[in-house]
Amino acid sequence: MKSAPAIRWTSEVRGEPARSEAVAAAAAATESTAETTRAGSLAGLGASASPGSATVGRGAKPAFVPADPGVSTARGDFGFRSLNDVDNSSDPQTGKIVSRWLGRFVLESGVVLPDLVAAYRHDGVPIGDGRQILVVHALTGSADAAGDWWAPLIGPGQVLDTDKYGIICMNLLGSRYGTSGPISRNAVTGKPYGRAFPLVTVRDQARAHWRLLDALGIGKLALAVGGSLGGMVALEVALERPGEISRVVPMAAPARIGQLAVGWDRIQLDIVDKLGMEGLDLARQLAITTYRSEIDFEQRFAGRVEADGTPSIVSYLRYQGRKLLERFDEDTYRTLVRAMDTHDIGRDRGGASAALQRLAAYGTRLTGVGIEGDILYGTNQVQDLVEAANSAGMDAAYREIHSTKGHDAFLVEWGQLSTLLAEALK
């Protein structure tokens, strides 16, 4: 095993999270109850503290236990298998997804992850030589924004121009593509955490981003941008250190998760809890119906039937369910959906207005991007965020993507995305 490098503990020095009693109560709940509904607070979310983690009070220092953070029991393990695979060089490898060991990490609940590992990709202008931009992926995405899901926007001459900016994207805490999550090995049991992986919040995911940025020497960001869950995390990245980010651009992301989305998420989690991987297939099918729009489905599938008589829309949804099973697992899906349901920028901050006033005080600007026909996080929710930001004294603007593609327009409408990102970078 490689020797552990000297790590800048800037994130912890600047404060481990104040232990949230709501989150701590949620993390202490037993998984077997399966009654983990979020209704405006974290009190109902459930996640058990795993045998390989510890719950500590602020300032407590448990012994460090090394761990192998990436052995998967699920098919298609896209993570890594050993700390030997973790790159701790001082400079990121441009254009490659690498993983970095970041040490002990305290979650909002007070549970300690003895080994935080983060997978990321950095492209473009080297760190220290120019402005850096953070791109945050959505629910089942990866750190490969530049090579995969946002490739048309990132590169030489593109709107996120790698000749002008450094672009970094990190796999979310709790995911399965190289960052610590349910497929990671529990240091005590020697087995993957699985369902025992502790409750993670959107705020935890934002703090994990700053831990990586600290380790890489990125102290300031010109822009933080993301869609859906990625937009929620981008907001929290800004709120975690309001003086160190120029503009935040949440796309299809509200100040607080809407109750319709909570309901859809609960149905998906119930299906997964009852049916395992088969349930993940069905949950994905349900989720896809919220990621598109009525117009899109009508235009693509109205009157179409497969050779066996199956309506084409049904065949399409089944395909999407099967496709997720090839690259994801039920425990990771459960972890990330529950994290998304914790989203509320006003929690423990005196409300959304008080939270946004913190950004206003440091001159952080905000562009909220709504999507026409988005039934998951509608334009009214994004407009409410922008109005609250302006009322709090921020320089905030609302922009809208006009599309028939629904919520997922932030992954396909390249022309409009280029225009609004160019504006944000002025």
Are 203 and 280 members of one domain? no
CB 22 within 8 A of CB 60: no
User: 192 and 265 share a domain?
Assistant: no
Burial class (CB in 10 A: 0-12, 13-18, 19+), 9: middle
Residue among 20, 72, 180, 228 flagged as catalytic? 228
Q: Which of 123, 281, 407, 408 is catalytic?
A: 407
- What was the pLDDT predicted at 178? 96
Q: What span, in angstroms and rounded, lies between the C-alpha atoms of 271 and 285?
A: 11
Give pLDDT, residue 22: 61
Annotated catalytic residue, options 68, 265, 331, 374: 374
**Same domain, yes or no: 100 and 201:** yes
Mark 218-238 as b/e (b = at least 16 C-beta within 10 Å).
Answer: beebbbbbbbbbbbbbbbbbb
Per-residue confidence (pLDDT) for residue 249, from 0 to 100: 98
| Any domain includes 344 | no
Q: Are residues 206 and 284 in the same domain?
A: no
**Distance (Å, rounded) from C-alpha 324 to C-alpha 303?**
26
| Contact between residue 413 and residue 401 where contact means Cβ atoms under 8 Å apart | yes
Report DSSP state, residue 143: S
Residues 214 and 267 in one domain: no
Q: Catalytic annotation on 348?
A: no
> Domain check: are 67 and 177 in the same one?
yes
Residues 196 and 111: their CA atoms lie apart, in Å, by 12
Q: Are residues 40 and 173 in the same domain?
A: yes
Q: For position 187, what pLDDT does the model report?
A: 83
Residue 352, domain member (yes or no): no
349 belongs to a structural domain: no
Residues paired with residue 65 on neighbouring β-strands, in sequence order: none
User: CB-based burial of residue 3 (10 Å sphere; 0-12 exposed, 13-18 middle, 19+ buried)?
Assistant: exposed
In-domain check, residue 421? no
281 part of the active site: no
Please say if 296 is a catalytic residue.
no
Please check whether residue 95 is in contact with residue 155, taking contact to mean a CB–CB distance below 8 angstroms.
no
- Cα gap 198→206, rounded to integer Å: 16
From 312, 337, 362, the end of a domain falls on 337
Q: Same structural domain for residues 211 and 269?
A: no
Range of the domain at 93: 1-132+169-219
CATH of the domain at 271: 1.10.1740.110
pLDDT tens, residue order, the chain (426 aa): 333 222 222 233 344 566 566 665 655 553 443 333 333 334 434 333 444 444 333 233 222 222 223 322 222 333 333 333 444 444 455 689 999 999 999 999 999 999 999 999 999 999 988 899 999 999 999 999 999 999 999 999 999 999 999 999 999 999 999 999 999 998 888 999 999 999 999 999 999 999 999 999 999 999 999 999 999 999 999 999 999 999 999 999 999 999 999 999 999 999 999 999 999 999 999 999 999 999 999 999 999 999 999 999 999 999 999 999 999 999 999 999 999 999 999 999 999 999 999 999 999 999 999 999 999 999 999 999 999 999 999 999 999 999 999 999 999 999 999 999 999 999
**How many domains is the chain partitioned into structurally?**
2
Residue 102 lies in a domain: yes
Could you tell me if 82 and 182 lie in one domain? yes
